[in-house]
Structure 1
Amino acid sequence: MTQTLRAGFTYFAIVMGTGFMLGVIRVPFLVPRMGERWAELAEMPIMATVIFFAAGFVLRRFADIRTPTKSVTAGLLAFVLTVGAELGLALVLQDRSLGEYVASRDKVSGSVYLALLLVFAFMPRLRLSSFSRTGVEQRCSKP
């Protein structure tokens, strides 16, 4: 279980850290030029790519999570941490209520964000399938 927790925290840290760095660029530089919706949508393919590679990284780094149950658990832990961090930032740092935060989200980019969150939660499990089919799992476990 310790490896699953470490994998979930690592997955969360990689994706959330990247999202934070992209936000530092998006908010001051892209939002004024493109608007919030288009700036957020422009960031989504980058985040999807980071999610894909981060899931592969944790599967390689934490061999113990290469089971369907543990890979889903690691992804769901990362999901819960991400949602908690997002809501914590919105409620504490931005001094918003939960209702205000939800209402402030753009309907289009917010919907795509929710879909990407679900992809994020299950990507370790989805990548696990590709590891098994391509034989990467066997190559990764050899000394």
Structure 2
Amino acid sequence: MKSISAKVSKGITIGTILKVADNSKAKFAKVVAVYNYKGVKRRYAKAGIGDLVAVSVIDGDLSLVGKVSKAVIVRQRKEYLRREGIRVKFEDNACVIVKDDIGTPAGTIIRGPIAKEVTERWAEIGKIASIIV
């Protein structure tokens, strides 16, 4: 996985409910696991901007509810530090559901802004984003 230019503080743990920011027929998803997390035994896995997580869809189309899929976190409430010294935070926690490990999005458009750090790691998501902050 490619590195990010910012020092991202991990603000999302297992059990966090995320808003789905794309048009993949899912509205809300719950974080089930964090891929590539290496931590202490019996500690909840944490994720931040640009991390790949496994989510379970909890609201949306009935064919998707209860299904586990992969997602990339594009917004988080917890502030993080950019290299220029700017602290960035968003008003909600949001993700984009992806089809594979490369980062091909399941939807065709992304609602709302996404972080610049996401486009550094996941170019496919950056192509369909309307607002990059």
TM (norm. structure 2) is 0.26
Higher strand proportion (structure 1 or 2) = 2
Q: Compare CA radii of gyration and give the structure with the larger one.
A: 1
Scaled by the length of structure 1, the TM-score of the pair is 0.25
Q: As a proportion of its length, which structure holds more helix? A: 1
* More RCO (CA 8 Å, sep 6+): 1
